[in-house]
């Protein structure tokens, strides 16, 4: 069973959401797609950048992760687990996440929007 990815994004941990949103939209001229307060999405050419407060995540401001939105998180995680991928699951009000790492320790995640 192959995992079907809906779209991908790069998540950037930030110190201050408002300052970062202003930088990406006003300074760089990119489009704000969504702002959920604890998560914002910025559209760039060929990329979606997710902004997430580092304090909330427990990560450093300079950390980056790569995410893939999926239709069915449980199904996607199960398919990758069969290939040896180990996950840590995390729920937010609006999304469910399954975090994992590549062989070099780069954080990746699967995300499913809650209905």
Domain boundary assignment for the chain? 5-113
Q: What is the pLDDT of residue 60?
A: 57
Rounded to the nearest 10°, the torsion over CA 78, 2, 115, 58 is 60
Per-residue pLDDT of the chain (115 residues; tens, 9 = 90+): 678 788 888 988 888 889 989 988 998 888 999 999 888 999 987 889 999 887 765 555 567 888 888 999 999 999 999 989 999 999 988 899 999 887 667 788 899 998 7
Does the domain at 5-113 match CATH 3.10.180.10? Answer given as: yes
Contact indicator for 22, 32 with CB cutoff of 8 Å: no
């Amino acid at each position: 069973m192959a995992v079907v990815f809906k779209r991908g994004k790069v998540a950037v941990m930030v110190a201050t959401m408002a300052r970062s949103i202003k930088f990406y939209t006003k300074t760089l001229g990119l489009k704000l797609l969504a702002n959920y307060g604890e998560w914002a999405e910025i559209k760039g050419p060929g990329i979606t950048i997710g902004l997430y407060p580092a304090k909330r995540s427990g990560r450093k401001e300079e950390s980056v992760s790569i995410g893939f939105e999926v239709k069915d998180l449980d199904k996607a995680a199960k398919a990758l687990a069969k290939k040896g991928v180990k996950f840590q699951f995390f729920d937010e009000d609006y999304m469910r996440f399954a975090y994992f790492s590549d062989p070099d320790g780069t954080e990746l995640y699967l995300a499913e929007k809650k209905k």
